[in-house]
Structure 1
Amino acid sequence: MPTTTELTSGDERFMGADGSSKELKLGFLATIECADGALIGGLLVTNHFGRPLEFQCTTPVKPNRTQEVLYGPTLVPFLVGEVIGQTLVQKMNVKPNLILVEQDQAMELQKHISIPVAILSDVEQILDENASFIIEEVGKNKLRFDAGHQAGRVVIENTSKKIPGDADLGEPFERVREALNEAIRMGSSR
C-alpha cells in the first residue's frame, strides 16, 4: 500500500452550529507517470473558492511484470481507482463533498468510496454521452457522473450555487500535477 504525505491549511475547522461543515469541499484527484513507469497520485481538497484545505500524495506505485500480465487492461483502473484513489481518500482529514477526476480510469474510485466522483468532461466526451452517464453543468464546467450513482448529481444540484460561475474546475488539477512533479523532484534529489 502506498504511503501518503499531508498538507493542511487549518481552514477545515470552520464548522456549523450542528457540527457539520457549511463549506463546499471539492476534491481533485490526479495521477502522473514517473520516468520509471510508476504512478504517483495526489488529492487536493479545496473550498468553493479553490483555496487548499488539504493535500495528500502517495509514494510511487509500480506494478511488477506479473501484475501487468494478470491484471491486463484492468491494471490502470485498479491502480488509479482502488490503490491510489481509495488510499488518498481514506487518509484525508478533510473529506470532500465531491471528488473530481480527469481520467476515465479514475472513475473506478466510485466503486470503493461513498463520496460522489465525477469526471470533468469536454465537448468530445459529451458528444459520446450514453445512458450510463449523466452530464451536469456547473458554471462553464461539465461534469459526468456514472448514472448508477445518483448521489453525485444530488450533491452538485445542492451545492453548485456555491461555486462561482466563472470557476475553472480544471485549474486545480494543474496544481496537483505540479505538486506531484515537485514531490518526484524532491524524492530524486535525496
Structure 2
Amino acid sequence: MEFLTIGFLGIYRFEEGAAIRGAILITDTETKPLEFRVTGPVRPQKFQEILYGELLNEHISVELIGLPLLSVLQQKPNLIIVRDILFLEINTKQEIPTVLMLKEDEALLKRGASTKPLNPEDSGRPPVKICTLSQFEPKLEEISHQLQPIFLNRDLMEPFNRLEKACADFNSRNEGNN
C-alpha cells in the first residue's frame, strides 16, 4: 500500500456542545488539500441521550459523521488519520485503514492496543504515535514506515487545526443549519 492521498477526519463541538460537526480533508502526501467535506450540525436530543446512553458519542462519530463523509468523497483516501478514538470503529464498517494519531505523551484509552512511533529526529517536531483496531493492526508497521518520510517533511497534526478552523467558520456562518 503506497499513500497517494491521506484523509484527516475530525469532530468538533460548537454552541457549548449542543452542535457537533465533522469534517474530512483529503490531501496529497505534502498535505496540500484535494477535497474537503463538512457535515451539517448534529444536535442530539435529550431522548437520544437517554436511549443511546454511553453509545451516543460513538454513534454520532461513526454513523452520523464518519461514514456519511466517506460516502460522499469523490477522491477516496488511501489512509485515514483521526484524533478521536471513537472514529477507529469506522475500521469495522469500511475498507480504508484508519489510524489514531496521538502525541507521544498522550495516553491511549484502550488497553491492549499496540502503537507505533513516528519520530524522525530530523523533523524538529514532537514525536507522535499511531495505533489502530485489530482489523488493520497487522498493517500498522507498514503504515508507520510509509508515514515516516511524510512526517519528516510535514506536521501530520497540523491538518486537524485546519479542519477545526474550517468547521468553526462553517458554524459561524450557520451553513448547513436546518
Range class of TM-score, shorter chain = 0.7 to 0.9
1:122 and 2:103 matched = yes
* Residue aligning to 1:187: 174
State the distance in 2 between where 1:109 and 1:162 align: 26
Runs (5+) with no aligned partner, structure 2:
121-126
Q: Decide which moves more: 144-153 or 169-178.
A: 144-153
Scaled by the length of structure 1, the TM-score of the pair is: 0.77
For 2:55, which of 74, 81, 101 is the aligned residue? Answer: 74
Check 1:127–1:116 CA distance in 2 against 1; reply closer, same or farther (3 A cut): closer
User: What percentage of aligned pairs have identical amino acids?
Assistant: 27
Q: Mean Cα displacement is larger for which, 96-105 or 150-159? A: 150-159
The Cα shift of 1:106 comes to 2.0
2:143 counterpart residue number? 156
Deviation, structure 1 residue 150: 2.9
Partner amino acid, structure 2, of 1:90 = S
Unaligned runs of 5+ in 1: 1-21
The alignment partner of 2:163 has SS state of: helix
Partner of 1:44: 25
Q: Aligned AA for 1:170?
A: M
Between 34-43 and 86-95, the greater mean CA deviation after superposition: 34-43
1:31 is matched with 11
Q: In angstroms, what is the RMSD of aligned CA positions?
A: 2.6
Of 30-39 and 53-62, deviating more is 30-39
1:118, 1:152 within 8 Å by CA — same for their partners in 2? no
Work out whether residues 134 and 147 of structure 1, in 8 Å CA contact, stay in contact via their aligned partners in 2. no
Give the TM-score, by structure 2 length: 0.82
8 Å contact from structure 2 (residues 38, 69) kept in 1: yes
CA pair 122-158 structure 1, distance change in 2 beyond 3 A: closer
Q: Is the 8 A contact 1:122 1:142 kept in 2?
A: yes
From 85, 88, 105, the counterpart of 1:107: 88
Counterpart of 2:74 in structure 1 is: 93
